[in-house]
Structure 1
Amino acid sequence: MSSLRLSTVILPVHRWHEGARDQWTRAEELGFHTAYTYDHLSWRVPFRDGPWFGALPTLTAAATATSRIRLGTLVTSPNFRHPVTLAKELISLDDISGGRVTLGIGAGGSGFDATVLGREAWTPRERADRFAEFVPLLDRLLAEDAVTHRGTHYSADGARNIPGCVQRPRLPFAVAATGPRGMRLAARYGRAWVTTGDPKLTEEGTPEQSAAALHGQLKKLETACSDTGRNVAELDKVLLTGFTPERGRPLESLDAFVDFAGRHRELGFTELAVHWPIPDSGFATDQRVFEQIATEAPRQLL
């Protein structure tokens, strides 16, 4: 059975010198494989009207405060990003971190980010259309010195990205997708595939239904890889936890988490990302239990 990596997601809700820096350095001390953050301009209740900092500046600060842990977004989307400017920032971040950056990337949703720039939210089809153009262009921008492209939604005119990424040919993509078009992008461009499970099951579903849905998603990924001539085993399979029917219960104890993690490893997942505890939210978890899980669960799952 394959090994299972444990990563964390640190929401950017604290000032850097008032707790945030300590979280990122502690994540490295605890041995997490990757520390991610969300790439939003604001997020859902209860975070909507509270502090929320930018993802890429936060990751840049984290890169200077750590030396080993990988860093990434989970996930960046076209909702307020353009491939040309994003590529420049990612190349800079990859350089500052010494090649420790993973870009989690998805089509985006219909939340606050979708309308904050003063436009109507895109339909699911429009999001998929833009994503299908965004990812290949970003792939080129990160891997080539100069790019010119004329697209339906995104263009580049002699965009220079010298010296490129520290990681060659570019930093890795972790593509969040559940639909067929997104799965094909993951199969072609991804080092990893990301899911949160089936959102229709979050509130009313059962763990068994969730496992069946995740199994179905993994089979679709396998088909997409086969269609593109790629071995699905080459991709990491990442579950962003906290949105399946179990919600926060797997973090209530070490035994509960080991059981949860073992079941999802058997499905085929190679990485679980757990949210850093935030009191008085859906991510409230006993910090001591959380740190026990971080340090002891990987050994029990060997």
Structure 2
Amino acid sequence: MRLSTVILPIYRWHDEGREVWRRAQELGFHAAYTYDHLSWRTFRDGPWFGAVPTLTAAAGATDRLRLGTLVTSPNFRHPVTLAKDLITLDDVSDGRITLGIGAGGSGFDATTLRGKDEEPWNPRERADHFDEFVPMLDQLLREPSVTWEGRFYVANEARNIPGCVQRPRLPFAVAATGPRGLKLAAQYGQAWVTTGDPKLFEAGTAEQSVAALRGQIARLGTACEQAGRDVSALDKILLTGFTPGNPLQSFDAFVDFAGTHFDLGFTEIVVHWPVQDSGFALDTKLFERIATEALAQFG
């Protein structure tokens, strides 16, 4: 069982950023992730920094904490340039990077690199890009030279020397709930990520959410079986904040929530670093108590 955090890339490094990431390590979190977006929801009109430079700086400010994205997507990434950034990050951090990766969404920054009148990719288009993005990135991170000509992406002798510190490559945590994404998680993932069932967030119940997550894990198991993998070999990561109710309303509420989801088979629960005056507002003392004491409740 692991407990991790997401630190939004909103902090000026020399004002608060460095100390926030250092504090995450001091609190004993397994990993600290950040969103890989160009902007996001209610934070669109405030500071929002790049994920890769932020993680590079965090790697220099910490020495034990795992670092990563939750999540990177094809919405504005190309496998070749992303692979180069990831290999560099893995080197700077001495092998502490996990790539959270997903198909992306349709809102916020999904059309930033598209024409003014262009629509965001629909779900099928996102899945089509993801189907090519993941195996190409896998190859780029494993091999010193890659030539690839696909439907969406091209590489001509893309060089990636010396490769990742972590061998054969840094781990992928694949965010997926649909059949095509779960197939990719089963084939290429070292971990699987979910936020729950988005249809239940506003009007659903905790019981419905647990049932939906149980179903997702069952479908992941089927995908792993079809891929010839043991589903127990994949870490299962739940990013909180998008399921019904508020598991962070008290220490006991979080312990109950964590226990229920660990029993479902999740191996890592991720909580957002508190951001006051936002949807991620939380008393700092409660947050730090959860970070330092919650896992001890499970023996």
TM-score range, shorter chain: over 0.9
Note the residue ranges of structure 1 that are not aligned, 5 or more in a row.
Answer: none
Shift of 1:223: 0.2
Partner of 2:187: 188
Match of 2:285 among 260, 284, 288: 288
Contact 1:252 1:286 in 2 (8 A): no
Please give the root-mean-square deviation of Cα atoms over the aligned residues, in Å.
Answer: 0.7
Partner of 2:27: 30
Match of 2:67 among 71, 76, 84: 71
Q: Could you list the per-position Cα deviations for residues 35-89 of structure 1 after superposition, in whole angstroms to 9, with x for gaps in the alignment?
A: 00000000012x0111100000000000000000000000000000000000000
Aligned residues: 296
Match of 1:298 among 285, 288, 295: 295
Give aligned-pair identity as a percent.
Answer: 73
1:93 and 2:86 correspond: no
For 1:178 and 1:26, how far apart are their aligned partners in 2? 32
SS at match of 2:247: helix
Partner of 1:137: 136
| Counterpart amino acid of residue 194 in structure 1 | V
1:277 and 2:274 correspond: yes
| Counterpart amino acid of residue 14 in structure 1 | Y
| Counterpart amino acid of residue 250 in structure 1 | P
Partner of 1:5: 2
For 1:253 and 1:16, how far apart are their aligned partners in 2? 30
Q: Could you list the per-position Cα deviations for residues 249-281 of structure 1 after superposition, in whole angstroms to 9, with x for gaps in the alignment?
A: 222222111100000011111100000000011
Partner of 1:242: 241
Note the residue ranges of structure 2 that are not aligned, 5 or more in a row.
Answer: none
TM-score, length basis structure 2: 0.98
For 1:189 and 1:273, how far apart are their aligned partners in 2? 21
Q: Could you list the per-position Cα deviations for residues 210-238 of structure 1 after superposition, in whole angstroms to 9, with x for gaps in the alignment?
A: 00000000000000000000000000000
For 1:162 and 1:97, how far apart are their aligned partners in 2? 17
| Counterpart amino acid of residue 144 in structure 1 | E
Shift of 1:178: 0.3
For 1:265 and 1:277, how far apart are their aligned partners in 2? 23
For 1:165 and 1:43, how far apart are their aligned partners in 2? 30
For 1:251 and 1:112, how far apart are their aligned partners in 2? 26
Partner of 1:230: 229
SS at match of 2:203: coil
SS at match of 1:242: coil
Shift of 1:196: 0.2
TM-score, length basis structure 1: 0.97
Shift of 1:118: 2.4
| Counterpart amino acid of residue 101 in structure 1 | I
Shift of 1:15: 0.4
SS at match of 2:124: helix
For 1:265 and 1:185, how far apart are their aligned partners in 2? 23
Q: Matches of residues 190-269 of structure 1 in structure 2 within 5 Å? A: 190-246=189-245, 249-269=246-266
For 2:223 and 2:17, how far apart are their aligned partners in 1? 39
